[in-house]
């Protein structure tokens, strides 16, 4: 479901307090962030193509934006303590593809910081 508010309604999540302890919290966070990115990308002169990537082995990237033949990987994690391991999907994608930009891991931190040479963790509210 693309509308996180409607998903909360159907899951009978009636308050922010109920949401933070609900098993869907992380999934709803990803949905809300992806929706915001897609909404904002609509303001660009040429909207990027959007994809999701997952291997049979389980490596995945939540959102790939393609513009001018370059793929921009974005991962979303509901954490205030991102680790390099959380960026493993982006790292795997970099190994599998040629034209890939550095990736972003959106999370609940105060200041941007590099998790690896190819992944920058940024505050989710900068989106």
- Global pTM value: 0.84
Sheet with 119-123, side-by-side order of all strands: 49-54, 60-67, 70-76, 103-107, 119-123, 113-114
Q: What is the pLDDT of residue 125?
A: 84
- The C-alpha atoms of residue 42 and residue 32 are separated, in whole angstroms, by 16
Is the pLDDT at 126 greater than 90, yes or no?
no
- What percent of the chain stands above pLDDT 90? 54
- The C-alpha atoms of residue 54 and residue 93 are separated, in whole angstroms, by 9
Is the pLDDT at 22 greater than 80, yes or no?
yes
Q: What is the pLDDT of residue 77?
A: 93
- What average pLDDT does this structure show over 107-123? 94
Q: What is the pLDDT of residue 1?
A: 59
* Domain 4-126, architecture per CATH: 3-Layer(aba) Sandwich (3.40)
- What average pLDDT does this structure show over 71-97? 92
Q: What is the pLDDT of residue 127?
A: 63
- The C-alpha atoms of residue 92 and residue 72 are separated, in whole angstroms, by 13
């Amino acid at each position: 479901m693309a509308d996180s508010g409607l998903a909360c309604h159907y899951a009978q999540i009636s308050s922010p307090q109920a949401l933070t302890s609900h098993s869907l919290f992380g999934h709803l966070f990803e949905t809300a962030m992806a929706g915001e990115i897609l909404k904002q990308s609509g303001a660009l002169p040429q909207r990027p193509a959007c994809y999701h990537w997952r291997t049979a082995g389980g490596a995945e990237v939540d959102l790939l934006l393609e513009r001018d033949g370059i793929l921009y990987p974005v991962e979303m994690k509901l954490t205030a303590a991102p680790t390099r391991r959380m960026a493993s999907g982006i790292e795997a994608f970099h190994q599998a593809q040629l034209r890939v930009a550095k990736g972003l891991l959106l999370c609940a931190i105060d200041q941007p910081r590099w998790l690896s040479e190819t992944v920058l963790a940024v505050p989710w509210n900068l989106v």
